[in-house]
Structure 1
């Protein structure tokens, strides 16, 4: 197939591109390493311990959780490709983009708080699978989880590298190599808590730039504000007819292609969240009272990013693409350039100029490195905990696990870089990967959810339902492609209808398979089995130092973290059996590490999480967009109100995931600042 062409119009020099990637990588690496040092010296948080490295001692508060989840979910798709799809399908696409992001995060709030109730010491979602179903199911879900992480991370690096290559002329391979380099160091050293901190910084910088781009383009003389944008889009309607839209208008919610694409997005994003152990780890890392509000704040905040930014920039690009200020003028803005993501940088160049493109590159860097760091810590935990400790060295010490985790981060960075390069030279792009990913990984969603929610799912069902679901989805995808387009190749498999049907088959048929197989040989799982999972054991040489900072020391940390040894089986996580064979008497001796008051609080949060999820689904899937899916083109007042609310949502996001985390973590910030001040005072007195 050959290398995909992502060449666009060069907007900045190669030197600027190299300088930005290298400089930003060094800057963020230095900031995070300093933050990790402050944590260790003044906040008793040592990333040299595996509980801290993998799940941040389970003490992360609401604000930082919201910011970290928001950042991990603010992929390059939500910014760059929201504008692309608004340009392609009209203003319906950014709305569907927003609705395709938030319900998955709200669902993870449900699963996260339920995991705290039933598996209080879990480290990865794969550990839960192994505890309940044994080795074979564990391997099946390991493969699915690694595929999810690999394709998700690689697709982001691929898209970012193609963008950087297109606008700066930097070689694609160089951009692909430079993106993960800085991330490797601070992730390997700082672990999950370092990704929480860097996620906050990414979120703050990216949201400021998103608001800046939205407002500066909207108010530019060539656009003329909300009224000017509406009038100009209406004026070019005849030359910008969109097939499948009501009257071909960009200003209608009745867009066939947008809604089909939105459904594919929802299924793909559901797989990216539920099948990505990084989102599970962030929920494991939170305090008892932080999981549900933290995840739901992120779910609400994320909606405004693609909706506001995509609407303004996508429509502005339609207005500008035939004017002398547009970089491609007088040539055509080709479909290949559009699909490669150049809608946003070209619109910025036409309005803000080269300085704006440099700022755009910063925003892309924020989105990319956040995704890569989250993927690295997830994969390193899988390799160190689910592979190394489980199958290679069951008696590995805490220090050995940390060493393996560090090596796993480096290995994943090298592997994902090479894989991204292979995808590029193989001809893949974001569209094809986005359509294939839910078919590949979506089959594990329902069985994984049922692992925590249904005691009747059997081991055979957990093993075979995702395999059969994937085969079903793949068969539907390829057969539909062949039936509709006569041939199967890269282009025909990127068509929306076959991808949607395949995604639906892969995602939902495992529910049927699971029920049928479970009824073949019924079995009821005893949830108390999950209490056999413990904290990672630490070496005896470290025990003295850890007494003051143990994640189970409620009084030292002032949190509701479960207390180790409160009736939990003395066997470590490495001794989990391949099947639940503990006798009834042994199970009766197990005691939940949370007290009754904490468990009541968790059950209350669990009910709240379900209510929030149902409300978000009904609101963003049905009550809001569906009444607008009719023969209606927005008039100027409605468009003005619509876009104003979308922009206001961006400011709400700043409050929820930038300002609130500062307030929520004010005591830790003050404690760290005082510690630094005292240390500097001692240095100067000398």
Structure 2
């Protein structure tokens, strides 16, 4: 059997297992709530597994080594802080979300109740752009993995992966995602820690260390300016991603209230070890003079070189499970935004459960096709795309946090803070050019910009405008409006509830 055929067989077998589990669980989906939030009674074990499976992404296993290859030890540590601190920081917010908005379904519900229409529309636009970018990274990961390890053409790996995941997510929604996440998480956690020891053992610890000292001494430095900037910007990106990502809001709504805080804290702490383990593979490349092409394929390339065909198969199983679990969660999260925040709110406010489920299934398939189209030309490396999206993420950290906890948060400050923070952040990110993945809009040229200054600037501007505006013109929001939301389940329509129950006294 050829290498490419072996890779396809492994993916198809794993995919058949996930699809069988997901489609079996899909039979239990009876309502829009089942499809969107999985029943609202998930415990700490399954909750932690689904958070880890969702958050251990193709980025974690491919972009973490890329950051290690580019920035050495600080690159690996920065990536570990990026995701781990993001999930842990969300713990108090998740607890607040679950108790304050018990009937919520998406992050869009929060913006719709808490602020005003312009904030809601701006956030939906930003979220859709961000989700397409995030889906793009997983599509890229699938294609890069199969191409690097088994020589499967990039586009074949992309289409197979997206098609298999779409098959079970379309019918089962969140329930299917939760059912497959547990097994995927177990596979990921068992296999991910095998490879560093295996690769380092074959390459030789002393050989790697002395090779780095000779070939890339800066990789061992703890004062590398780029690495230090990454240590600051990385957590901002991760916190912003988690705060803005609908998959984390869906899981907050799906968990039992008593388990929410611990679930997010344990998941964040456990997640940190994964990018450290996978990121360390980049040190082998640096110490042996290996030059990956493209750079985000450094982990599978090194694994293939030092562990042979068996290692390649196991690594494929690990990374494909990570990509499949995240891709499934994202497809369901974006479909949820369409069902809840576009279809039910603007297209069919009185939609029945049957109509909502149909809309969600159609949306899932459409989003899967968009993912394939977006990833097809391989527009950017995964780390570059991650930092680009991080500019938008950072601009929403403060608006979301203050909106949940501070009643005086001003809706205009939130709107202009997020908008101006994103625009200026993207300008600095591109050194005076708006780099929008498929379109570049040159304005001028600056020499002091770059990805990490762009992320930091976006977050700082948003923080300043939101806080200062709220201090100068405070508004008083009635948090009881959250708990009353979705009284439509008692026979009142969503549109009438939202207009009557959002009580804001403008200062």
The equivalent of 2:128 in structure 1 is: 146
SS in 1 for 2:324: helix
Aligned pair partner of 1:513 in 450, 462, 465: 465
User: Is the 8 Å Cα contact of residues 136 and 463 (structure 1) preserved in structure 2?
Assistant: yes
Counterpart-to-counterpart distance in 2, 1:77 and 1:442? 18
Q: 1:458 and 2:414 equivalent?
A: no
User: Is the 8 Å Cα contact of residues 108 and 273 (structure 1) preserved in structure 2?
Assistant: yes
C-alpha distance after superposition, 1:79-118 (max 9, x if no partner): 2333333334333332222222211111221111111232
Aligned pair partner of 2:215 in 224, 229, 240: 240
Counterpart-to-counterpart distance in 2, 1:460 and 1:213? 50
SS in 1 for 2:351: coil
Classify 1:580/1:506 alpha carbon distance in 2 versus 1 (closer, same or farther; 3 Å). Answer: farther
Alignment of 1:91-110 (within 5 A): 91-110=73-92
The equivalent of 1:573 in structure 2 is: 494
C-alpha displacement at 1:302, in angstroms?
0.7
The equivalent of 2:286 in structure 1 is: 318
The equivalent of 1:195 in structure 2 is: 177
Classify 1:82/1:300 alpha carbon distance in 2 versus 1 (closer, same or farther; 3 Å). Answer: same
C-alpha displacement at 1:383, in angstroms?
0.3
Of the structure 1 ranges 112-121 and 495-504, higher mean CA displacement relative to structure 2 is found in: 495-504
C-alpha displacement at 1:489, in angstroms?
9.3
Classify 1:536/1:579 alpha carbon distance in 2 versus 1 (closer, same or farther; 3 Å). Answer: closer
The equivalent of 1:125 in structure 2 is: 107
User: Is the 8 Å Cα contact of residues 462 and 514 (structure 1) preserved in structure 2?
Assistant: yes
The equivalent of 1:359 in structure 2 is: 314
Of the structure 1 ranges 574-583 and 402-411, higher mean CA displacement relative to structure 2 is found in: 574-583
Counterpart-to-counterpart distance in 2, 1:519 and 1:395? 39
The equivalent of 1:113 in structure 2 is: 95
User: Is the 8 Å Cα contact of residues 53 and 190 (structure 1) preserved in structure 2?
Assistant: yes
Of the structure 1 ranges 346-355 and 283-292, higher mean CA displacement relative to structure 2 is found in: 346-355
* Alignment gaps of 5+ in structure 1: 1-10, 38-45, 224-228, 322-332, 483-487, 538-564, 585-686
Q: 1:410 and 2:365 equivalent?
A: yes
Q: 1:157 and 2:139 equivalent?
A: yes
* Alignment gaps of 5+ in structure 2: 435-439
C-alpha displacement at 1:450, in angstroms?
1.8
User: Is the 8 Å Cα contact of residues 50 and 536 (structure 1) preserved in structure 2?
Assistant: no
Counterpart-to-counterpart distance in 2, 1:428 and 1:477? 14
The equivalent of 2:266 in structure 1 is: 297
Question: Higher Cα Rg: structure 1 or 2?
Answer: 1
Classify 1:284/1:252 alpha carbon distance in 2 versus 1 (closer, same or farther; 3 Å). Answer: same
User: Is the 8 Å Cα contact of residues 532 and 573 (structure 1) preserved in structure 2?
Assistant: no
The equivalent of 2:56 in structure 1 is: 74
Classify 1:237/1:385 alpha carbon distance in 2 versus 1 (closer, same or farther; 3 Å). Answer: closer
Counterpart-to-counterpart distance in 2, 1:94 and 1:377? 30
Counterpart-to-counterpart distance in 2, 1:160 and 1:406? 23
SS in 1 for 2:450: helix
The equivalent of 1:548 in structure 2 is: none
Classify 1:297/1:535 alpha carbon distance in 2 versus 1 (closer, same or farther; 3 Å). Answer: farther
C-alpha displacement at 1:474, in angstroms?
2.3
SS in 1 for 2:350: coil
SS in 2 for 1:524: strand
SS in 2 for 1:153: helix
The equivalent of 2:437 in structure 1 is: none
User: Is the 8 Å Cα contact of residues 62 and 294 (structure 1) preserved in structure 2?
Assistant: yes
Counterpart-to-counterpart distance in 2, 1:50 and 1:536? 13
